[in-house]
Amino acid sequence: MNAKDRNSFYQIQGGTLPLDAPTYVKREADEKLLEFAKTTRSNNRVCSILAPRQMGKSSLMIRTAELLRNEGIVCVEINLQGLGGVNSDELFWYGVLDEICKKVDNFLVRDRQQEPLPDKFEAYWESRHNSPAGKRFGDFLKEEILTQIDNHLVIFLDEIQSLLNWGLQNDFIAVIRSLSSDVNNAVLRKLNFVLLGVAKPSELLTEKGVAFNVGDRLEIGPLTGECKELWGGIAAITGEVKEAIATILKWTGGQPFLTQVLCDLVVSKGCKFQAFTWEEHIQRIVEEEIVEKWRTLDLQSHFPEIEKCFLGIENETSLKALKTYVTILNDESVKFEETNNSHWDLLISGLVIKEATQSGNILKVTNPIYARIFDNDWIKSIEEQINLNSTVSTENELEEIAQELGEFDLPKVNLTKEKEIKSMSTRTQQIEQIIQQRSPLVAKIKTVEENLDKLAGELVSLEQFRHRLMPLVNNPLAKDFLSGFDFLSLRGKVTENLSQLEFLRKRLSRDTLNIGVVGLMGQGKSTFLQRISGLTDDVIPARKGGACTAVRSTIYHNEGDTYAEVILHSEESFLQEVIGPYYQELGLGVVPETLSDFAKPLPATNFGGSNSTLESMYEHLRGDYHDNLHHYKHLLERGSPRKIKVAKEEIDKYVSQPRDEVGFWLGFNWV
């Protein structure tokens, strides 16, 4: 899944696509945002783009800004997360205005005698310290910045969901609304705001007296059409690019990041097997590389972040959203309601999208991949987690009440609900103990994160104090010394460290213990796994002499009966993945497309003793696979690989590779 080790044509590392990225696909939102941003308006000078993660909001922003600059329009892009620890409206508006001044100043052409905007801003901000920070922001924008701009100023504010963490959304919207609706000040016609982020409209306001009705709301939709910008990578493996891209878009529903990922996967798998249609080929890739592995893949936490949307909100709210999603998942029509919070929860998670119909907008699952991953079993597991969290929360509250009652010497009452608890094995306890040992480290990381967040806020305060102090210092050496400090750059480094700590904290907060075992043949891998799992030879063969384990196996700890889920090769996958590499390495020509073709005499070779490795490979192909085809071909059905459940006593025949004294196979199920 990771393209770090190869030069991928596609952007699968997440984040904003570079301006020169060839895979950026234009959508209807590109034209609409560009038109809004460069239009002079008497009011309604705000456009908001609220959408799920990885929908291309930031990529749209930087491209629109570049096009506007080419037309002589001044653009300022600010990522609010980059402001660091903001704990007051004073720090917020100071940080935003400081960024605007620095970036606008780079566009202005002025006389040497004119004071730079950042310096003028510092003096202005301090001289009006008794005025509310939001008003100082608006006044300086009108009096000092817009008056110096001949054409137009567009301010892009990205990641506005940060306002929710800081509790500043009401103040922010009030200031933006006042600047947007002022029809009397002509200088404001030069100004437009673009707000981008992952938030519901209702989340941006907590006061009932204020409504989020500021300006235009622009929706950023999925990728549609031929998407020729994506053709470059696929063209390297097939001439049927249009059909391949259309099939990929069908599976991803045009979700931008997921589309880039699936395109990269298709390219990494190489040429399609001729017997497969594109639908069959890509379905197989989706099932094997995404659906079966979504919890263990990196993918910039794409799928776990969707899941987190339902575990990170109030239990009652989450259950309502899941109830609506069940209806949508079962292909029942759900009409979108603008004021329905559950509908917005689903939309902002990215799990569903709006689709226009003659009777109005309806909600539907974003794509078939989501439908396979976030299915009814997933819904059931999430509901169980929510109910468990609710029970624990209730019991904690009751325990606190009991403790408070105890202070008044009232009769003690056992408020803990009686539960039926299954006995836990020693191994389960050991695994849980190991996982619990991570908890203190996670707590320490959280403490460091909190301290660094506070430090980021203090660095902003120091930068403010430095600017106020500079005009008061007459000593040249002292002034040079003060000029050498850049507290905002330090704040940026602190923010980078916070991101790294967040990644580490999430990794250590996992509720699983994963162990990978690799090594040469006969080094004791299977024996080691037996020791730590408690399983025996009938599940993990570790017998003397030769290779015992013939297939890749993933072992999960499970309370209950031991069993195996075995994925059997189809005829097509067996020929492509098992036999194909032999033909390619040995130069035997075209890989057989059917088992009947493979049953025919193998092509002759002429190594003449010059290459013992290739001779050994050929004998392995002939003696093991070709000559024994009649023993195992009944296991290989045409179509997609199938999955079967196998009882413990039958596992060995699907896992081990037994041979007799001469070296001939004794069983063939493992093939």
The two beta strands, 153-158 and 191-197, are: parallel
Q: Which among 182, 217, 252 is the end of a domain? A: 217
Task: Look at residue 409 in the predicted model and tell me its pLDDT.
Answer: 41
Task: Look at residue 413 in the predicted model and tell me its pLDDT.
Answer: 38
Residues 212 and 235 in one domain: no
Among residues of the chain, what percentage have pLDDT more than 70? 86
3-state secondary structure of 174: helix
Q: Which among 356, 374, 392 is the end of a domain? A: 374
CB atoms within 10 A of CB 236: 12
Residues 239 and 212 in one domain: no
Q: What angle do CA 258, 262, 266 make, to 5 degrees?
A: 170
How far is residue 63's CA from residue 58's CA, in Å, rounded to a whole number? 9
> Among 302-316, 540-554, 566-580, 605-619, whose mean pLDDT is lowest?
540-554
Structure confidence at residue 392 as a pLDDT band (50, 70, 90) = low
> What does pTM read for this prediction?
0.60
* Residue 165 in this model has a pLDDT that exceeds 50: yes
Phi, psi of 10, rounded to the nearest 5 degrees: -105, 155
Residues 233 and 178 in one domain: no
Domain assignment present for 92: yes
Q: Which among 237, 268, 290 is the end of a domain? A: 290
Q: Which residue has the higher pLDDT, 600 or 552?
A: 600
The two beta strands, 360-365 and 352-357, are: antiparallel
Residues 44 and 174 in one domain: yes
Domain assignment present for 181: yes
Task: Look at residue 550 in the predicted model and tell me its pLDDT.
Answer: 61
Handedness of CA 393, 399, 402, 406 (dihedral sign): negative
Phi, psi of 85, rounded to the nearest 5 degrees: -80, 105
**In terms of DSSP H, where are the helices of 407-438?**
426-436
Q: Distances from the Cα of 527 to the Cαs of 427, 521, 547, 557, in angstroms?
A: 17, 12, 12, 17
Domain assignment present for 608: yes
How far is residue 321's CA from residue 658's CA, in Å, rounded to a whole number? 53
> Among 19-28, 535-544, 592-601, 632-641, whose mean pLDDT is lowest?
535-544
Task: Look at residue 35 in the predicted model and tell me its pLDDT.
Answer: 95
Structure confidence at residue 41 as a pLDDT band (50, 70, 90) = confident
Structure confidence at residue 401 as a pLDDT band (50, 70, 90) = very low
Number of H helices, E strands in the chain: 27, 10
Domain assignment present for 650: yes
Token code pair at residue 89: 């409206």
How far is residue 369's CA from residue 372's CA, in Å, rounded to a whole number? 5
Q: How many domains does the chain have?
A: 4
Among residues of the chain, what percentage have pLDDT more than 90? 36
Q: Which domain holds residue 190?
A: 28-217
* Rg of the chain on CA atoms, in Å: 31
Residues 62 and 191 in one domain: yes
Q: Could you report the per-residue pLDDT of 428-465, keeping only the tens digit for each?
A: 777 777 788 888 888 888 888 888 888 888 888 888 88
Of 535, 639, 644, 580, residue with least CA distance to 669: 644
* Residue 662 in this model has a pLDDT that exceeds 90: no
Token code pair at residue 174: 């009030």
Average pLDDT over residues 100-127: 83
Burial of 417 (0-12, 13-18, 19+ CB in 10 A): exposed
Residues 570 and 612 in one domain: yes
Residues 445 and 504 sit within 8 Å (Cβ to Cβ):
yes
Residues 34 and 170 in one domain: yes
How far is residue 206's CA from residue 438's CA, in Å, rounded to a whole number? 37
Q: Which residue has the higher pLDDT, 338 or 612?
A: 338
How far is residue 223's CA from residue 230's CA, in Å, rounded to a whole number? 11
Average pLDDT over residues 185-189: 91
Q: Distances from the Cα of 362 to the Cαs of 339, 366, 413, 573, in angstroms?
A: 14, 12, 51, 39
Read off the CATH number of the domain in which 211 is found: 3.40.50.300
How far is residue 600's CA from residue 41's CA, in Å, rounded to a whole number? 77
Residues 282 and 187 in one domain: no
Domain assignment present for 637: yes
Q: Could you report the per-residue pLDDT of 66-113, keeping only the tens digit for each?
A: 999 999 999 999 999 988 878 889 999 999 999 999 999 888 765 556
* Residue 424 in this model has a pLDDT that exceeds 50: no
Average pLDDT over residues 12-29: 91
Residues 344 and 197 in one domain: no
Residues 100 and 203 in one domain: yes
* Residue 141 in this model has a pLDDT that exceeds 70: yes
Domain assignment present for 419: no
Q: Could you report the per-residue pLDDT of 341-365, keeping only the tens digit for each?
A: 899 999 999 999 999 988 889 999 9
* Residue 615 in this model has a pLDDT that exceeds 50: yes
Task: Look at residue 421 in the predicted model and tell me its pLDDT.
Answer: 35
Q: Which residue has the higher pLDDT, 647 or 121?
A: 121
* Residue 524 in this model has a pLDDT that exceeds 80: no
* Residue 395 in this model has a pLDDT that exceeds 80: no
What dihedral do alpha carbons 634, 637, 638, 642 form, nearest 10°? -170
Task: Look at residue 19 in the predicted model and tell me its pLDDT.
Answer: 92
Domain assignment present for 420: no
Which of 200-209, 247-256, 568-577 is the most confident on average? Answer: 247-256
Residues 575 and 625 in one domain: yes
3-state secondary structure of 670: coil
* Residue 415 in this model has a pLDDT that exceeds 50: no
Average pLDDT over residues 562-580: 87
Domain assignment present for 536: no
Residues 317 and 261 in one domain: no
How far is residue 560's CA from residue 424's CA, in Å, rounded to a whole number? 11
3-state secondary structure of 454: helix
Structure confidence at residue 640 as a pLDDT band (50, 70, 90) = confident
